[in-house]
Amino acid sequence: MSASMIRRGLELLSNDMKDVGKGKAGKVKPRQTPSSARVMELVSSQRQGVTRQVRRLQGRLGPGKSKATVKHKRIKNAVEEFRKTQGKSHLTENLAYFMGSSYTASDTVTKKIMSQHTGRQARNRPDAPVRKPAETTSVFSEAEFQKFQKEYFGRTVE
């Protein structure tokens, strides 16, 4: 960096530093409670009850005031606070939208979706459909069976 750039930067910095100093001197921090000298200006010049009047004036704003009171506190309702933080429910609008729709998905698509959204635990899985056992069919017909009985036993057995 050149010396002129450094000089220019220092000038800008010194200007900023001067402004900060003026800002602090000009601002006076507002006091929480009036000091006793300022309170004495507010108090009437009567001799009796001056200390009580000073105490009343000083305690009006801050530290002299008892913080143990709940006189002006508003009790918060937990349900109201919860509702404030929750967003508005759009369930009725969504249901009206989907019920008004004319498109319906096929059964295979809905079964796929339902199977993907089941949980991993056994209690979340639906029971498998019970298959009916197929009736066993004989290789031999009734006529062939009767013929076999005649040949083997010599007569038909009932």
Domain membership flag for residue 52: no
Domain membership flag for residue 105: no
Domain membership flag for residue 128: no
Higher pLDDT among residues 120 and 47, named by residue = 120
Domain membership flag for residue 6: yes
For residue 7, the enclosing domain spans: 1-25
Domain membership flag for residue 8: yes
Average the pLDDT over 121-136 and give the result.
Answer: 82
pLDDT of residue 108: 93
Average the pLDDT over 140-150 and give the result.
Answer: 88
3-state secondary structure the chain: CCHHHHHHHHHHHHHHHHHHHHHHHHCCCCCCCCCHHHHHHHCCCCCCCHHHHHHHHHHCCCCCCCCCCCCCCCCCCHHHHHHHHCCCCCHHHHHHHHHHCCCCCCHHHHHHHHHHCCCCCHHHCCCCCCCCCCCCCCCCCHHHHHHHHHHHHCCCCC
Number of domain units in the chain: 1
Query: Per-residue pLDDT tens for 44-61?
Result: 666 677 777 777 776 655
Domain membership flag for residue 97: no
Higher pLDDT among residues 27 and 73, named by residue = 73
- Using 50, 70 and 90 to split pLDDT, how confident is the model at 115? confident
Domain membership flag for residue 19: yes
Query: Per-residue pLDDT tens for 95-114?
Result: 998 888 788 889 999 889 88
Domain membership flag for residue 40: no
Higher pLDDT among residues 73 and 24, named by residue = 73
